[in-house]
Amino acid sequence: MKLIASLLIAAALVAPALSYANEPAAPVAKADLAKGEATYTAVCASCHGADGNSGSPAYPKLAQQHPDYLVKQLQEFKSGKRANAIMSGMAAGLSDADMKNVAAWVGSKVSKPNFAKEKDLVVLGERIYRGGVAERQIAACAGCHNPTGAGIPAQYPRLAGQHADYTVAQLTAFREHGTKGAGQNVGRGNSAQMSGVAAKLNDREIKAVADYVAGLR
């Protein structure tokens, strides 16, 4: 009788846990696009363009970028993991909900096509982007960023049509961290993978890849 009683008590204790385990998870709140547009217009548009298509090559195009990637970058600007005096100040006043709303709104905009400008470098850029440099263990960019530059949501950003000047600046910053900044706040240190790749590229190769990426559609 004691054994039966013990089993009944155990079953009574386990049953609620099982019922909770089988309940669907609470739905994740959807981004509020109207709030995202309002915040973007007030905080971001002056540098990144009214629709995310920045008119200045110094500022990245954000239109059609993967929202999860944008949220990650904003969080890392805010935390200081990605160092940038301007963006750290802008992100400081944004809540996680603000970031999610802004990222969803600007990610829903269409990226305007761009063009490669350095014809003598495009062939080199395409070769590195699509095939890497085997003898120096440089991986092909297309493996993570897609042959068309579309990227992989949440993990790897969209590159197609990005301003070449901005891409050069980022690859150079990654390289600086990869070659000089181990354990230090030097260059761009929020991606060990990219620091490792960029550390093996010279200035001409960086410029070639950036120009090729600008012309991807």
Per-residue pLDDT reduced to its tens digit, 32-51 = 999 999 999 999 999 999 99
What would the mean pLDDT of 74-102 be, rounded to a whole number?
A: 96
Alpha-carbon span 185 to 191, nearest angstrom = 13
List the beta bridge partners of residue 156. Answer: 152
What would the mean pLDDT of 79-85 be, rounded to a whole number?
A: 94
The reported pLDDT for the residue numbered 14 is 38
Structural domains of the chain ordered from first start:
33-107 (1.10.760.10), 119-214 (1.10.760.10)
Give me the amino acid identity at 216.
L
Half-sphere exposure of 212 (CA within 13 A, CB side): 22
**Burial grade of 13 (CB within 10 A; 0-12, 13-18, 19 or more):** exposed
SS3 call for 175: helix
- 174-203 pLDDT, tens per residue? 999 988 866 667 799 999 999 999 999 999
The reported pLDDT for the residue numbered 51 is 98
Smallest CA-to-CA distance from 57 within 161, 200, 184 is with: 161
Residue with structure tokens 């039966």?
4
List the beta bridge partners of residue 27. Answer: none
- Phi and psi (nearest 5°) for 114? -125, -175
Give me the amino acid identity at 55.
G
List the beta bridge partners of residue 152. Answer: 156
The structure tokens listed for 204 are: 């001409």
Predicted TM-score (pTM) of the model is: 0.85
Residue 21 has pLDDT above 60, yes or no: no
Number of H helices, E strands in the chain: 11, 0
- 131-188 pLDDT, tens per residue? 999 999 999 999 999 999 999 988 899 999 999 999 999 999 999 998 886 666 779 9
